[in-house]
A and B are shown apart, each in its own frame.
Chain A
Amino acid sequence: MIFDIGHLILLAALVLAAFGILGGYFGGQQRNTRLIQSSFNAVYAVAALVLVATVILWYGLLSDAFQLSYVWNHSERALPTFYKFSALWGGQAGSLLFWCLLLSGYSAIVAFANRHRHQVMMPYVNSVLLATSLFFLTLLVFAADPFKRVGFVPPDGQGLNPLLQNYWMIIHPVMLYLGYVGMVVPFAFAVGALMSKRLDNEWVHTVRRWTLIPWMFLSAGIIMGSQWAYMELGWGGYWAWDPVENASFLPWLTGTAFLHSIIIQEQRGILKVWNVVLIWLTYFLVILGTFTTRSGVLESVHSFARSDVGPYFLGFLVIILFGFLWLLFDRLPLLRGEHTIDSYSSREAAFLANNWLFAGIAFATLWGTFFPMFSEILTGERISVAAPFFNKVNGPLFLLLLLLMGVAPLLGWRHTSLAAFRKQFTFPTLAALGVGVFVFVVARSLYPMIGLAICAFVVATIIQEYVRGVQARRSTTGENALVAIGNLWRRNGRRYGGYIVHIGIVLIGVAVIGNEFYQQSLSVTLATGESATVGRYQIVYNGMQTDRQANLMEFGAQLEAFHLDSGQQVAVVVPKRNIYDKAPDMPTSEVGLHMSPIEDVYVVLNGWDDGGASATFTIYINPLTMWMWVGGIVLVIGTLIAAWPNPVRRRNESVRALAYATGDD
């Protein structure tokens, strides 16, 4: 009964969303305040209804309502409660409902926060947000009903996919979805600005924070996904460039480009068309990513035909493509730049180069991800495009991007004089040379030397920027260094928080270089008591232990790692295999891991004989990997500093706008 109500609630939300779209559009056109108010109310109502529907599905999952096809397929009685909770995003219908819940939640917050602001733009913003909700509600009502019945009441469910039964899988999808779905908001503002012809910097000012927050979630989600892959998939790496990963990475690339290029629009009034295109691309890639992961089109073109939701997505993508292009061409005359670029050695030029690289990486990633599909359609041949391709194509571009991250903050707006050039570049260049020579002497390899030297350059740039900022504050206010840093963050969080984000990226870069060039591995079969030597470690196998958990059997190999030189014990490492009751032919691997700032000892249990008398392992020594996770945390902290609302900054915004127009920073 209650589940029938759930379905009806989704239907009601669909009708209300459609009504709100029309209310927003015609209200905006006719400046009809009652219709406009209706569009606001529709946003709130849709959010409330979708929330109720989600709570009903959660109730179904937690109360083992196996008469629902979704619960039957993605849960079981013995599943621990938190996995029953997270099973909401473990399957297709549930994850689409979760998408819709987050989107309608974002929409309600946006509508509420702007109920008295941007009066001309908001009706259209509401319409775009509701149109996206309408699409997902259509899927939920007609193609992927989460409340579909099995027809009888099965005694138990089939269980959740074992790969998803990992604590990272509770939080990682939530972060990723918050990032993914949140990117709809800046797009809605861009379309709102185009529709209402308010194409000055108003919408750009507004969406900066609405882009930063989803960007932070998306970044955190991607890094948590890497952490999951590292811990769970057991191949020694954290990023495989597989289609699902790429689907999350593509909007991150265009979103990052957008975050940078709106700075030039705000400061110099140029790149207006490009900014609108970039945020549209981000939105398009979000929908495309959801489509590819949900329809299975990239695994095989044939699975598209079997997919219930595929044709709907394709239709929606076509609408987004042509609808937006029509709107853009219609408004093109209003998007003329206000200034020009004065010099190649200016920050504007560096931002343009940044956008060129981000767009290039996004294109190469998109192209590589879809190439197997094109190849299958056009030549009938299945090709795999995996890490070797992406590393070769994107690797050099990322290196250039890293270099630019160091160079750009050293350039002034409009033009950099030769004297300023010398003053700015001396310290970072010396730091880069120092690290480069050191790496060459120690490791004698070219690529890591270049990569790490560039990392040093970026860090030196940021240190120099901070030192100068602190010195400037100290000379005027006399405050101590820590207070000065706090004030730099508070008063110009966007710039100094941005630098912290860059430090996070450098740390991730250092981890990638360490893993890419210095990973060691050994595959070995050991009898109890035998040992193997990898890198600086001797690893001893002490036998197998089994442990019964609620819905699985855990087999853990007991290993000890010793330092080769000193003979001291470094860690006890226990790689495991879990055999799930409901999926005995799909054992999962939990790696045994000892993490340290220098290198991780990472062991995978491949299999065993005679109850564990001997076992086969793959042992990896992964240098510097910990810095990837530290970098992720630093990145989130930096983004929070950059996005933190600041009353002083808000008051000064108009004053600064004038200062920028005259070329000061």
Chain B
Amino acid sequence: MLRIHQRLFFSLSLLALLFCLSGSVPSAKSQDSAVEPPATVTANEVKDVADELWCPLCSGVRLDACELKACEQMREVIADKLTAGEPKDDIKNYFVAQYGPQVLGEPPLEGFNWLAWLLPVAVMIGGGVFVWRRMRGMIASKTTEPPPSPAAANNEYYDRLEEELKRYD
């Protein structure tokens, strides 16, 4: 009975997934049909896998918390695979093969994606070297403090002027 229910659910979900992919209109779960994982797999075991994966349709939403029908179906697949005894990493790899690296929350370390990781590091190092060299240059050329610059004196003058002007307001 449960199996028929699940199969029906699976085909409906697949339809919903196609719908989502074509129009990217999210359709969320109906209120009275909580996903009941097979008796051997607990909701928690499914969550354990799902919270390391990301919704392929939304940006920045974890699979375990996503409300889309498509993600509900993905959690269903996780439950099936766990029942079949597949280890966590294999399940994750299956989703990467199905949906691409989007289901990982970070760019994989390959090809063009290396740039995502390397550029911030390069900028930090480059910026650090730049700041340090500037500072070293300044410290090396340290001279005795010049008298207050004309700009500062000007500034003070204007402050005083403005204060005086205010009194006449």
Contacts and interface: CB of A to CB of B under 8 A. Distances in A.
Contacts of A349: 135
Given A298-B59, A393-B120, A607-B34, A523 B42 contact: yes
Interface of B: 24, 26-36, 42-44, 46-47, 51, 54, 56, 59-62, 64-65, 67, 100-107, 111-113, 115-117, 119-120, 123-124, 127-128, 131, 135, 138-139, 141-143, 145-146, 148-149, 151-152, 154-156, 158-160, 162, 165-166, 169
23 contacts: A116-B169, A201-B152, A201-B155, A202-B155, A234-B65, A236-B65, A353-B131, A356-B127, A383-B102, A384-B105, A386-B54, A387-B105, A388-B104, A392-B106, A523-B44, A523-B47, A525-B42, A604-B65, A607-B29, A607-B32, A608-B32, A618-B65, A658-B148
Interface stretch (A187-195, A370-378, A429-437, A474-482): A370-378
Given A269-B149, A344-B139, 5 more contacts: A363-B124, A383-B101, A384-B104, A388-B104, A662-B145
Contact of B60 (A117, A243, A579): A243
Nearest to A586: B28
A368 B116 contact: yes
Given A356-B128, A615-B34, A200 B155 contact: yes
Contacts of A385: 105-107, 116
A401 interface: no
A359 interface: yes
A340 B152 contact: no
B165 A116 contact: yes
A118 to B, nearest CB: 9
Interface in A353-382: 353, 355-356, 359-360, 363-364, 367-368, 371-372, 375, 378-379, 381-382
A608 B34 contact: yes
Given A383-B116, A661-B152, A579 B31 contact: yes
A342 B155 contact: no
A382 B100 contact: yes
B105 A389 contact: yes
Contacts of A585: 27-28, 30
Contacts of B128: 356
B167 to A, nearest CB: 12
Given A349-B135, A381-B100, A384-B60, A202 B158 contact: yes
B28 A360 contact: no
B130 to A, nearest CB: 9
Contact of B102 (A199, A382, A525, A604): A382
A644 B34 CA distance: 54
Contacts of A341: 135, 138-139
Contacts of A375: 107, 112-113, 116
A609 interface: yes
Nearest to B65: A235
A241 interface: yes
Nearest to A616: B34
Nearest to B151: A200
Contact of B34 (A243, A352, A360, A525): A525
A352 B131 contact: yes
A653 B59 contact: no
A543 interface: no
A387 B27 CA distance: 24
Interface in A646-665: 653-654, 657-658, 661-663
A387 B60 contact: yes
A541 interface: no
B152 A338 contact: yes
Listed residue (B51, B59, B124, B143) with the most chain A CB atoms within 10 angstroms of its CB: B59
Given A116-B169, A356-B128, A607-B29, A367 B102 contact: no
Contacts of A363: 120, 123-124
A200 B103 CA distance: 52
Nearest to B125: A360
B139 A235 contact: no
B62 A235 contact: yes
Nearest to A663: B145
A339 interface: yes
The 9 closest A-B pairs by CB, nearest first: A607-B34, A242-B60, A235-B65, A386-B105, A364-B120, A523-B47, A523-B43, A389-B106, A340-B138
Contacts of A352: 131, 135
Contacts of A522: 44
A618 B66 CA distance: 13
A388 B34 contact: no
A240 B33 CA distance: 28
A367 B120 contact: yes
Interface string A393-420: 1000100000000000000000000000
A587 interface: yes
Contacts of B141: 340
A144 B42 CA distance: 49
B127 A269 contact: no
Contacts of A201: 151-152, 155
B113 to A, nearest CB: 6
Contacts of A523: 42-44, 46-47, 64
Interface in A606-655: 606-609, 611, 614-616, 618, 653-654
B36 to A, nearest CB: 7
B51 to A, nearest CB: 8
A657 B44 contact: no
Given A340-B138, A397-B124, A607-B31, A371 B116 contact: yes
Given A360-B120, A384-B59, A607-B29, A338 B151 contact: yes
A524 interface: yes
B82 to A, nearest CB: 13
B102 to A, nearest CB: 5
A496 interface: no
A530 interface: no
A340 B134 CA distance: 10
A555 B135 CA distance: 62
A658 to B, nearest CB: 7
A649 B119 CA distance: 45
A588 to B, nearest CB: 9
Nearest to B72: A607
Contacts of B61: 235, 240, 242
Given A360-B120, A385-B106, A585-B27, A618 B64 contact: yes
B43 A524 contact: yes
A549 interface: no
Contacts of A364: 120, 123-124
Contacts of B42: 523-525
A558 interface: no
A388 B117 CA distance: 12
A388 B109 CA distance: 13
Nearest to A303: B24
Contacts of A555: 31
Contacts of B32: 607-609, 611
A524 B151 CA distance: 69
Interface string A89-108: 00000000000000000000
Nearest to B107: A383
A117 B135 CA distance: 36
A502 interface: no
B106 to A, nearest CB: 4
